[in-house]
Amino acid sequence: MPIVMVNIKEGRTVEQKRAMVTKMTDVLCETMNVKPASVRIIINEMKNDNFAIAGTLVCDDPSKQIKKN
Amino acid sequence: MPIVMVNIKEGRTVEQKRAMVTKMTDVLCETMNVKPASVRIIINEMKNDNFAIAGTLVCDDPSKQIKKN
Amino acid sequence: MPIVMVNIKEGRTVEQKRAMVTKMTDVLCETMNVKPASVRIIINEMKNDNFAIAGTLVCDDPSKQIKKN
Amino acid sequence: MPIVMVNIKEGRTVEQKRAMVTKMTDVLCETMNVKPASVRIIINEMKNDNFAIAGTLVCDDPSKQIKKN
Amino acid sequence: MPIVMVNIKEGRTVEQKRAMVTKMTDVLCETMNVKPASVRIIINEMKNDNFAIAGTLVCDDPSKQIKKN
Amino acid sequence: MPIVMVNIKEGRTVEQKRAMVTKMTDVLCETMNVKPASVRIIINEMKNDNFAIAGTLVCDDPSKQIKKN
């Protein structure tokens, strides 16, 4: 009964999140030998001033930000 | 000094959260033999497009959503 | 469908953990209006050299350690 | 730069974990439009007395335990 | 390649968060012997009705709230 | 009252962890304007077969492993 937390930067669409949870559930069922109904996936969208890489907040480095179309 | 994180779907009232943390703290004090002051409870409210069960986002399945009165 | 993570110091018995998850599940069902089957509780037992309070590891402060009977 | 934590019950082989992280990384790259090098996956293996479903520890319900071959 | 999650109450400024991640990254590089590029820090800002101390939500205890200037 | 979880690879000494929690607590007190007694730090040591970078478990890539002296 896998419980997954996925931390991603803000800016993804619902379509991207829908594709991700569908395929990630398939991977878990196939590799862990579990049924889909037992899989839970929590997405944590991090605001750009709440995630830092190499000591720099994403809000301070436009090259690290997700482009919204 | 228990530290608890509770992940719940969005849509609960402050009254529900207040009752939950009060009673959960009582349970921890009673079963873990700790003092109330040592208990910390973090609530993570998941938006309906940020939680998936069986590969389906809650936003795509109204039967899984919390009804707001 | 609440998912709970409980971080506690090492040294509790299975009896204590059993009582805790039973009563905590009751609290969640009562206050969040969910069914028992939807509740998941993950316990994370922290070793004494993996938890710090006020900048001091628990392994360095016997008064903070759980006494094993 | 997705950071994923996967909570699973104890009893899986390294081969299962290897297959899981490989395929999950592919899914994240494809759906989130990131490079493999940016993906981190943390696996948390829960002992049977540290995970409860419906208020019952897995160690108390053999039908919920992972069979080791 | 340390991955850190920092849970703090709402009300801090970007300046405070910027200073925190910069200095925390320095501490990790110095004590864990890693390079800055390998450090990830996730900040989780808890709303006052989503954090409880001693069984009381922060929203119910003004003395526990962060003062905004 | 910051609550921090630090995920690191296995292989660090208690001396390294002690230095890390001491200095990290100082950083939090200074930048978040809190008292040391309010800071909690949880360390999660990941075994080499429980952490993956770029889709590869650390146990499969000796260059990613922490050298023990």
What is the pLDDT at residue B67? 84
- Cβ contacts of D13-18, under 8 Å, gap ≥ 24: D14/F49, D14/F57, D14/F59, D16/A31, D16/A32, D16/A33, D17/D43, D17/F49, D17/F50, D17/F57, D18/F57, D18/F60
Residue of C nearest to F43 (CA): C50
* HEC letters along chain C: CCEEEEEEECCCCHHHHHHHHHHHHHHHHHHHCCCHHHCEEEEEEECCCCEEECCEEHHHCHHHCCCCC
Distance from CA of A55 to the nearest CA of B (A): 25
pLDDT of residue C33 exceeding 80, the answer is yes
Q: In the complex, which subunits touch F with 3 or more CB pairs below 8 angstroms?
A: B, C, D, E
What is the Cβ-side half-sphere exposure of residue B48, based on CA atoms within 13 angstroms? 12
C53 CA: distance to closest CA in chain B (Å): 9
Q: For residue D69, is pLDDT > 70?
A: no
Q: What pLDDT, on a 0 to 100 scale, did the predictor assign at position E69?
A: 57
Beta strands D3-9; A3-9: pairing state: antiparallel
Q: d(Cα D47, Cα F35) in Å, to the nearest integer?
A: 35
Residues of C in contact with D50 (CB under 8 A): 17, 42-45
Mean pLDDT of chain E: 96
Task: Return the bridge partners of A44, or none.
Answer: A7
Chains F and D touch, contact meaning at least 3 pairs of CB atoms under 8 angstroms apart: yes
Confidence of residue A66 (pLDDT cuts 50, 70, 90): very high
Give the residue-averaged pLDDT of D9-17.
97
pLDDT at C69: 57
The residue extents of the domains of chain F are: 3-64
Of the pLDDT bands very low, low, confident and very high (cuts 50, 70, 90), residue D1 is: confident
User: In C, which residues are within 8 Å of F9 by CB distance?
Assistant: none
* E62 catalytic residue (yes or no): no
> Cβ contacts (< 8 Å) between A63 and chain E: which residues?
none
Q: Which of C30, B28, B36 minimizes the C-alpha distance to E55?
A: B36
Residue D51, CA atoms < 13 Å, CB-side half-sphere = 18
- pLDDT tens-digit map of A9-58: 999 999 999 999 999 999 999 999 999 999 999 999 999 999 999 999 99
pLDDT, mean over chain C = 96
Name which of B10, B23, B25, B31 to mutate to probe chain C: the one with the most chain C Cβ atoms within 10 A of its Cβ. B31
Nearest to B18 among E7, E44, E57 (CB): E57
**Binding-site residues on chain E for chain F (CB distance < 8 A):** 1-9, 12, 16, 19-20, 23-24, 27-28, 30-33, 53, 64
Contact state of E55 with B14 under an 8 Å Cβ cutoff: no
Distance from CA of B48 to the nearest CA of C (A): 12
Phi, psi (rounded to 5 degrees) for C38? -90, -5
Give the tens place of pLDDT for each residue, D14-59: 999 999 999 999 999 999 999 999 999 999 999 999 999 999 999 9
pLDDT of residue A69: 57
**Inter-chain contacts counted by CB atoms under 8 A, chains E and F:** 60
pLDDT by residue (tens digit) across B8-67? 999 999 999 999 999 999 999 999 999 999 999 999 999 999 999 999 999 999 999 998
Query: With an 8 Å Cβ cutoff, are E55 and B42 in contact?
Result: no
Question: What tens digit of pLDDT does each residue of F26-39 get?
Answer: 999 999 999 999 99
Q: Provide the shortest C-alpha distance from residue C40 to chain A (in Å).
A: 9
**F39: chain C residues, CB-CB within 8 Å:** 52-55
Contact B51 A42 (CB under 8 A): yes
pLDDT of residue C14: 98
Q: Give tens-digit pLDDT for F9-64.
A: 999 999 999 999 999 999 999 999 999 999 999 999 999 999 999 999 999 999 99
**Reported CATH class of domain D3-64:** alpha beta
Question: For the complex shown, is ipTM > 0.90?
Answer: yes
pLDDT at F67: 84
Q: Which residue on chain D is closest to A46 by alpha carbon? A: D2
- Report whether pLDDT(B69) > 80: no
pLDDT band at C2 (very low <50, low <70, confident <90, very high): very high
Residues of F noted as catalytic: 2
Q: What percent of chain F has pLDDT over 90?
A: 94
Neighbouring residues of D5: CB distance < 8 A, sequence distance ≥ 6? A4, A5, D41, D42, D43, D44
Query: Could you tell me how many residues make up chain B?
Result: 69
- Residue ranges of chain E whose CB lies within 8 Å of a chain D CB: 1, 3, 40, 42
Do the strands E40-46 and A51-53 form a parallel or antiparallel pair, or are they unpaired?
Answer: antiparallel
Which residues of chain A approach chain E closer than 8 Å at the C-beta? 7, 44, 46, 49-57, 59-60
Placement of tokens 């779907």 in the chain: B9
CB contact under 8 A, A40 and C40: yes
Q: What is the mean pLDDT of residues E18-24?
A: 98
Question: Regarding predicted confidence, which is higher, E66 or D67?
Answer: E66
Does residue C68 carry a pLDDT above 80?
A: no
Q: Tell me the C-alpha to C-alpha distance, in Å, between residue D18 and each of C34, F28, F54.
A: 35, 37, 12
